[in-house]
A = this chain, B = another copy of it.
Protein backbone atom coordinates (compact mmCIF):
# COMPACT_ATOMS: atom_id res chain seq x y z
CA UNK A 1 0.00 0.00 0.00
CA UNK A 2 1.38 3.37 -0.98
CA UNK A 3 1.56 5.86 1.83
CA UNK A 4 2.28 9.57 1.76
CA UNK A 5 3.97 9.34 5.18
CA UNK A 6 7.66 8.82 4.67
CA UNK A 7 9.04 8.97 8.21
CA UNK A 8 12.59 8.14 7.18
CA UNK A 9 12.90 11.27 5.09
CA UNK A 10 12.80 9.45 1.76
CA UNK A 11 11.40 11.69 -0.96
CA UNK A 12 9.69 11.02 -4.24
CA UNK A 13 10.08 13.74 -6.84
CA UNK A 14 6.73 15.47 -7.24
CA UNK A 15 5.31 15.32 -10.73
CA UNK A 16 3.74 18.07 -12.74
CA UNK A 17 0.72 16.50 -14.45
CA UNK A 18 -0.52 17.69 -17.83
CA UNK A 19 -4.30 18.03 -18.03
CA UNK A 20 -4.45 15.05 -20.40
CA UNK A 21 -2.44 12.88 -18.08
CA UNK A 22 -4.51 14.05 -15.12
CA UNK A 23 -7.85 13.04 -16.61
CA UNK A 24 -6.38 9.78 -17.94
CA UNK A 25 -5.18 8.67 -14.51
CA UNK A 26 -7.56 10.20 -11.93
CA UNK A 27 -11.12 8.85 -11.63
CA UNK A 28 -14.18 11.07 -12.26
CA UNK A 29 -16.52 11.80 -9.32
CA UNK A 30 -19.57 9.48 -9.24
CA UNK A 31 -22.03 12.39 -9.55
CA UNK A 32 -20.47 13.77 -12.76
CA UNK A 33 -22.86 12.24 -15.26
CA UNK A 34 -25.91 13.36 -13.33
CA UNK A 35 -24.51 16.89 -12.98
CA UNK A 36 -23.75 17.13 -16.70
CA UNK A 37 -27.32 16.14 -17.56
CA UNK A 38 -28.62 18.95 -15.33
CA UNK A 39 -26.22 21.43 -16.94
CA UNK A 40 -27.32 20.45 -20.49
CA UNK A 41 -30.98 20.91 -19.62
CA UNK A 42 -30.29 24.25 -17.90
CA UNK A 43 -28.24 25.61 -20.82
CA UNK A 44 -30.85 24.61 -23.41
CA UNK A 45 -33.49 26.52 -21.45
CA UNK A 46 -31.29 29.64 -21.17
CA UNK A 47 -30.45 29.48 -24.89
CA UNK A 48 -34.14 29.37 -25.74
CA UNK A 49 -34.76 32.36 -23.47
CA UNK A 50 -31.69 34.13 -24.89
CA UNK A 51 -30.01 34.71 -21.57
CA UNK A 52 -26.30 35.09 -21.05
CA UNK A 53 -24.89 32.51 -18.68
CA UNK A 54 -22.11 32.87 -16.12
CA UNK A 55 -20.33 29.99 -14.43
CA UNK A 56 -19.37 31.11 -10.93
CA UNK A 57 -16.96 28.82 -9.08
CA UNK A 58 -16.71 29.44 -5.36
CA UNK A 59 -15.12 28.16 -2.16
CA UNK A 60 -11.97 26.14 -1.51
CA UNK A 61 -11.06 22.67 -2.72
CA UNK A 62 -9.76 19.87 -0.56
CA UNK A 63 -6.91 17.44 -1.17
CA UNK A 64 -7.73 14.22 0.67
CA UNK A 65 -4.69 12.49 2.15
CA UNK A 66 -6.44 9.14 2.58
CA UNK A 67 -8.91 7.12 0.48
CA UNK A 68 -11.20 6.79 3.48
CA UNK A 69 -10.98 10.50 4.02
CA UNK A 70 -10.23 11.68 7.51
CA UNK A 71 -7.54 14.27 6.79
CA UNK A 72 -7.25 16.69 3.95
CA UNK A 73 -5.43 19.79 2.85
CA UNK A 74 -7.78 22.74 2.31
CA UNK A 75 -7.69 26.25 0.91
CA UNK A 76 -9.12 29.10 2.91
CA UNK A 77 -12.36 30.39 1.41
CA UNK A 78 -15.76 30.92 2.97
CA UNK A 79 -17.15 31.51 -0.51
CA UNK A 80 -18.18 35.11 0.11
CA UNK A 81 -16.86 36.48 -3.20
CA UNK A 82 -18.59 33.83 -5.28
CA UNK A 83 -21.92 33.77 -3.44
CA UNK A 84 -22.20 37.56 -3.39
CA UNK A 85 -21.23 37.93 -7.04
CA UNK A 86 -23.75 35.25 -8.08
CA UNK A 87 -26.53 37.38 -6.57
CA UNK A 88 -25.43 40.45 -8.54
CA UNK A 89 -25.17 38.45 -11.79
CA UNK A 90 -28.72 37.20 -11.25
CA UNK A 91 -29.85 40.78 -10.62
CA UNK A 92 -28.15 41.80 -13.89
CA UNK A 93 -30.24 39.27 -15.82
CA UNK A 94 -27.68 36.50 -16.18
CA UNK A 95 -28.44 32.85 -15.61
CA UNK A 96 -25.94 31.47 -13.09
CA UNK A 97 -24.34 28.06 -12.74
CA UNK A 98 -23.11 28.24 -9.17
CA UNK A 99 -20.42 25.59 -8.73
CA UNK A 100 -19.42 25.69 -5.11
CA UNK A 101 -17.67 23.85 -2.34
CA UNK A 102 -20.12 21.92 -0.21
CA UNK A 103 -21.18 23.98 2.85
CA UNK A 104 -19.55 27.18 1.57
CA UNK A 105 -21.76 30.26 1.30
CA UNK A 106 -24.55 30.34 -1.27
CA UNK A 107 -26.45 33.24 -2.81
CA UNK A 108 -29.37 34.45 -0.66
CA UNK A 109 -28.82 32.13 2.33
CA UNK A 110 -25.39 33.80 2.76
CA UNK A 111 -27.22 36.62 4.58
CA UNK A 112 -28.22 34.19 7.31
CA UNK A 113 -25.06 32.45 8.49
CA UNK A 114 -25.84 30.14 11.40
CA UNK A 115 -22.80 31.59 13.17
CA UNK A 116 -23.22 35.30 12.70
CA UNK A 117 -26.90 35.86 11.90
CA UNK A 118 -28.85 32.74 12.85
CA UNK A 119 -32.43 32.75 11.62
CA UNK A 120 -33.72 31.02 14.76
CA UNK A 121 -32.87 34.24 16.61
CA UNK A 122 -35.32 36.33 14.69
CA UNK A 123 -38.25 33.95 14.70
CA UNK A 124 -40.61 34.13 17.66
CA UNK A 125 -43.19 31.72 18.96
CA UNK A 126 -46.33 33.66 19.74
CA UNK A 127 -49.70 32.61 21.06
CA UNK A 128 -52.34 33.77 18.59
CA UNK A 129 -54.91 36.24 19.91
CA UNK A 130 -57.93 34.25 21.05
CA UNK A 131 -60.97 35.55 19.24
CA UNK A 132 -63.58 36.62 21.78
CA UNK A 133 -66.14 34.42 20.06
CA UNK A 134 -64.19 31.23 20.82
CA UNK A 135 -62.17 29.85 23.73
CA UNK A 136 -60.55 26.96 21.84
CA UNK A 137 -56.74 27.19 21.98
CA UNK A 138 -55.22 27.60 18.51
CA UNK A 139 -51.64 26.31 18.00
CA UNK A 140 -48.90 28.86 18.65
CA UNK A 141 -47.73 30.88 15.68
CA UNK A 142 -44.24 31.55 14.30
CA UNK A 143 -43.56 35.18 13.47
CA UNK A 144 -40.62 37.16 12.15
CA UNK A 145 -39.21 39.79 14.49
CA UNK A 146 -40.12 43.26 13.12
CA UNK A 147 -36.48 44.44 13.03
CA UNK A 148 -35.60 41.67 10.55
CA UNK A 149 -38.72 41.77 8.43
CA UNK A 150 -37.63 44.28 5.77
CA UNK A 151 -34.35 42.56 4.93
CA UNK A 152 -35.85 39.08 5.00
CA UNK A 153 -38.68 40.14 2.69
CA UNK A 154 -36.15 41.53 0.24
CA UNK A 155 -33.91 38.45 0.25
CA UNK A 156 -36.85 36.06 0.18
CA UNK A 157 -38.57 37.87 -2.69
CA UNK A 158 -35.39 37.88 -4.79
CA UNK A 159 -34.86 34.17 -4.01
CA UNK A 160 -38.40 33.21 -4.96
CA UNK A 161 -38.18 35.24 -8.18
CA UNK A 162 -35.00 33.39 -9.19
CA UNK A 163 -36.63 30.06 -8.41
CA UNK A 164 -39.65 30.96 -10.56
CA UNK A 165 -37.43 32.10 -13.43
CA UNK A 166 -35.24 28.98 -13.18
CA UNK A 167 -32.03 30.99 -13.60
CA UNK A 168 -29.88 29.43 -10.88
CA UNK A 169 -28.32 25.97 -11.06
CA UNK A 170 -26.25 24.87 -8.06
CA UNK A 171 -23.47 22.28 -8.37
CA UNK A 172 -21.32 21.00 -5.53
CA UNK A 173 -17.71 19.91 -5.24
CA UNK A 174 -15.49 18.95 -2.32
CA UNK A 175 -12.11 17.76 -3.59
CA UNK A 176 -9.85 19.35 -6.17
CA UNK A 177 -10.51 16.25 -8.28
CA UNK A 178 -14.30 16.88 -8.20
CA UNK A 179 -13.59 20.47 -9.17
CA UNK A 180 -11.34 19.68 -12.14
CA UNK A 181 -13.68 17.09 -13.65
CA UNK A 182 -16.72 19.30 -13.16
CA UNK A 183 -15.04 22.42 -14.57
CA UNK A 184 -13.99 20.56 -17.70
CA UNK A 185 -17.43 19.07 -18.27
CA UNK A 186 -19.36 22.30 -17.61
CA UNK A 187 -17.07 24.44 -19.76
CA UNK A 188 -17.36 21.98 -22.65
CA UNK A 189 -21.16 22.18 -22.39
CA UNK A 190 -21.10 25.98 -22.23
CA UNK A 191 -19.57 26.06 -25.69
CA UNK A 192 -23.12 26.04 -27.13
CA UNK A 193 -23.49 29.65 -25.97
CA UNK A 194 -20.54 30.92 -28.02
CA UNK A 195 -19.54 34.35 -26.75
CA UNK A 196 -22.63 34.52 -24.54
CA UNK A 197 -20.92 32.74 -21.69
CA UNK A 198 -18.79 34.17 -18.94
CA UNK A 199 -16.46 32.27 -16.60
CA UNK A 200 -16.00 33.75 -13.14
CA UNK A 201 -13.46 31.43 -11.54
CA UNK A 202 -13.47 32.60 -7.93
CA UNK A 203 -12.91 29.23 -6.27
CA UNK A 204 -9.68 28.85 -4.30
CA UNK A 205 -8.23 25.83 -6.04
CA UNK A 206 -5.34 23.86 -4.62
CA UNK A 207 -2.09 23.98 -6.57
CA UNK A 208 -1.23 20.51 -5.30
CA UNK A 209 -2.89 17.13 -5.15
CA UNK A 210 -2.16 13.60 -4.08
CA UNK A 211 -2.68 11.15 -6.96
CA UNK A 212 -5.06 8.35 -6.09
CA UNK A 213 -2.26 5.89 -6.74
CA UNK A 214 -0.21 7.37 -3.88
CA UNK A 215 -2.99 7.61 -1.29
CA UNK A 216 -3.09 5.60 1.89
CA UNK A 217 -6.24 3.44 2.15
CA UNK A 218 -6.75 4.00 5.86
CA UNK A 219 -6.28 6.83 8.28
CA UNK A 220 -2.58 7.67 8.48
CA UNK A 221 -1.47 6.53 11.92
CA UNK A 222 0.31 9.04 14.07
CA UNK A 223 2.86 8.23 16.71
CA UNK A 224 5.51 7.36 14.15
CA UNK A 225 7.28 10.68 14.27
CA UNK A 226 6.19 13.57 12.17
CA UNK A 227 3.82 13.75 9.23
CA UNK A 228 5.54 14.10 5.91
CA UNK A 229 3.44 14.75 2.81
CA UNK A 230 4.72 14.84 -0.74
CA UNK A 231 2.24 16.12 -3.31
CA UNK A 232 2.15 16.64 -7.06
CA UNK A 233 1.20 19.78 -8.94
CA UNK A 234 -2.32 20.22 -10.20
CA UNK A 235 -2.35 20.77 -13.98
CA UNK A 236 -2.72 24.38 -15.08
CA UNK A 237 -6.34 24.04 -16.07
CA UNK A 238 -6.75 27.51 -17.59
CA UNK A 239 -4.63 26.43 -20.56
CA UNK A 240 -7.00 23.77 -21.96
CA UNK A 241 -10.01 25.82 -20.79
CA UNK A 242 -8.96 28.69 -23.05
CA UNK A 243 -7.49 26.64 -25.91
CA UNK A 244 -9.86 23.71 -26.12
CA UNK A 245 -12.90 23.55 -23.89
CA UNK A 246 -14.50 26.95 -24.42
CA UNK A 247 -12.82 28.92 -27.18
CA UNK A 248 -15.30 31.78 -27.21
CA UNK A 249 -16.08 32.19 -23.52
CA UNK A 250 -15.09 35.34 -21.65
CA UNK A 251 -12.81 34.09 -18.90
CA UNK A 252 -12.09 35.81 -15.60
CA UNK A 253 -9.70 34.26 -13.12
CA UNK A 254 -8.63 35.43 -9.67
CA UNK A 255 -5.30 35.84 -7.92
CA UNK A 256 -5.22 36.03 -4.17
CA UNK A 257 -1.91 37.02 -2.65
CA UNK A 258 -0.74 38.02 0.80
CA UNK A 259 2.29 39.84 -0.56
CA UNK A 260 0.89 42.88 -2.41
CA UNK A 261 4.01 43.28 -4.51
CA UNK A 262 3.32 39.98 -6.25
CA UNK A 263 -0.24 40.84 -7.29
CA UNK A 264 0.27 42.56 -10.64
CA UNK A 265 3.35 40.60 -11.80
CA UNK A 266 1.56 37.32 -11.12
CA UNK A 267 -1.64 38.49 -12.81
CA UNK A 268 0.31 39.49 -15.94
CA UNK A 269 2.16 36.21 -15.88
CA UNK A 270 -1.13 34.31 -15.83
CA UNK A 271 -2.50 36.32 -18.78
CA UNK A 272 0.69 35.78 -20.75
CA UNK A 273 0.63 32.07 -20.04
CA UNK A 274 -3.06 31.29 -20.62
CA UNK A 275 -4.27 34.01 -22.95
CA UNK A 276 -7.59 34.69 -21.24
CA UNK A 277 -9.42 38.00 -20.73
CA UNK A 278 -9.12 39.25 -17.14
CA UNK A 279 -7.32 38.46 -13.93
CA UNK A 280 -8.84 40.04 -10.85
CA UNK A 281 -6.12 40.47 -8.28
CA UNK A 282 -6.88 40.77 -4.59
CA UNK A 283 -4.81 41.06 -1.48
CA UNK A 284 -5.97 38.80 1.38
CA UNK A 285 -6.44 41.71 3.78
CA UNK A 286 -7.84 44.31 1.36
CA UNK A 287 -10.14 42.15 -0.75
CA UNK A 288 -13.38 43.48 0.77
CA UNK A 289 -12.75 47.01 -0.51
CA UNK A 290 -10.10 46.86 -3.23
CA UNK A 291 -9.42 44.72 -6.29
CA UNK A 292 -7.51 45.25 -9.51
CA UNK A 293 -8.59 44.17 -13.00
CA UNK A 294 -5.57 43.22 -15.09
CA UNK A 295 -6.21 42.59 -18.79
CA UNK A 296 -4.43 42.67 -22.15
CA UNK A 297 -4.45 46.16 -23.64
CA UNK A 298 -6.97 46.41 -26.42
CA UNK A 299 -5.17 47.10 -29.75
CA UNK A 300 -6.59 50.62 -30.22
CA UNK A 301 -5.70 51.77 -26.71
CA UNK A 302 -1.98 51.12 -27.31
CA UNK A 303 -0.86 54.55 -28.50
CA UNK A 304 2.78 53.67 -29.04
CA UNK A 305 4.57 50.38 -29.54
CA UNK A 306 6.87 49.29 -26.74
CA UNK A 307 8.89 46.29 -25.64
CA UNK A 308 8.16 46.59 -21.92
CA UNK A 309 5.73 44.00 -20.51
CA UNK A 310 3.70 46.76 -18.84
CA UNK A 311 2.78 48.09 -22.28
CA UNK A 312 0.94 44.89 -23.10
CA UNK A 313 -1.42 45.00 -20.11
CA UNK A 314 -3.61 47.51 -18.40
CA UNK A 315 -4.83 47.74 -14.83
CA UNK A 316 -8.10 49.12 -13.53
CA UNK A 317 -8.45 49.50 -9.77
CA UNK A 318 -11.86 49.23 -8.13
CA UNK A 319 -12.13 50.62 -4.63
CA UNK A 320 -15.06 51.28 -2.34
CA UNK A 321 -15.15 53.41 0.79
CA UNK A 322 -16.57 51.23 3.55
CA UNK A 323 -16.54 54.08 6.06
CA UNK A 324 -18.80 56.20 3.91
CA UNK A 325 -20.87 53.29 2.71
CA UNK A 326 -20.64 50.41 5.20
CA UNK A 327 -23.23 48.18 3.51
CA UNK A 328 -21.79 48.46 0.02
CA UNK A 329 -20.43 45.20 -1.41
CA UNK A 330 -17.51 45.49 -3.83
CA UNK A 331 -18.94 42.56 -5.81
CA UNK A 332 -21.67 44.91 -7.04
CA UNK A 333 -19.03 47.00 -8.83
CA UNK A 334 -17.00 43.99 -9.97
CA UNK A 335 -20.06 42.44 -11.60
CA UNK A 336 -21.17 45.75 -13.19
CA UNK A 337 -17.72 46.18 -14.77
CA UNK A 338 -17.68 42.59 -16.05
CA UNK A 339 -21.19 42.83 -17.47
CA UNK A 340 -20.02 45.90 -19.39
CA UNK A 341 -16.85 44.18 -20.66
CA UNK A 342 -18.69 40.98 -21.53
CA UNK A 343 -21.20 43.05 -23.53
CA UNK A 344 -18.33 44.49 -25.60
CA UNK A 345 -16.93 40.97 -26.06
CA UNK A 346 -20.26 39.69 -27.36
CA UNK A 347 -20.53 42.68 -29.72
CA UNK A 348 -16.93 42.17 -30.87
CA UNK A 349 -17.77 38.58 -31.77
CA UNK A 350 -20.84 39.71 -33.69
CA UNK A 351 -18.71 42.19 -35.69
CA UNK A 352 -16.17 39.47 -36.46
CA UNK A 353 -18.87 37.15 -37.69
CA UNK A 354 -20.62 39.89 -39.69
Contacts and interface: CB of A to CB of B under 8 A. Distances in A.
Interface of A: 9, 11, 13-16, 62, 66, 68-76, 78, 102-103, 106, 108-109, 112-115, 118-120, 123, 125, 139-140, 142, 144, 149, 152-153, 155-157, 159-160, 172, 204, 206-208, 217-219, 222-223, 225-233, 256-259, 284-285
A62 B257 CA distance: 20
Contacts of A68: 258, 284-285
Contacts of A9: 9, 11
Contacts of A123: 152, 156
Contact of A156 (B142, B156, B204, B227): B142
A226 B15 contact: yes
Contact of A226 (B74, B156, B231, B259): B231
A226 B232 contact: yes
Given A11-B228, A71-B74, A207-B227, 18 more contacts: A11-B11, A14-B228, A16-B225, A68-B258, A72-B73, A72-B74, A73-B73, A114-B114, A125-B153, A140-B153, A142-B156, A208-B226, A218-B257, A218-B258, A226-B230, A226-B231, A228-B231, A229-B229
A248 to B, nearest CB: 29
A293 B127 CA distance: 44
A144 B71 CA distance: 39
A150 to B, nearest CB: 9
A120 B140 contact: no
B106 A258 contact: no
30 contacts: A9-B9, A13-B225, A14-B228, A68-B258, A70-B75, A70-B76, A70-B204, A70-B258, A71-B73, A72-B73, A73-B74, A103-B113, A103-B115, A106-B114, A106-B118, A109-B119, A112-B114, A114-B114, A119-B119, A120-B155, A123-B152, A140-B153, A142-B149, A142-B153, A142-B156, A207-B223, A208-B226, A226-B233, A228-B230, A229-B229
A16 B155 CA distance: 51
Given A11-B9, A72-B73, A125 B157 contact: yes
A226 B14 contact: yes
Nearest to A70: B76
A116 to B, nearest CB: 10
A115 B142 contact: no
Query: What are the nearest 4 A-B pairs in CB distance?
Result: A14-B226, A207-B222, A9-B11, A68-B258
B225 A231 contact: no
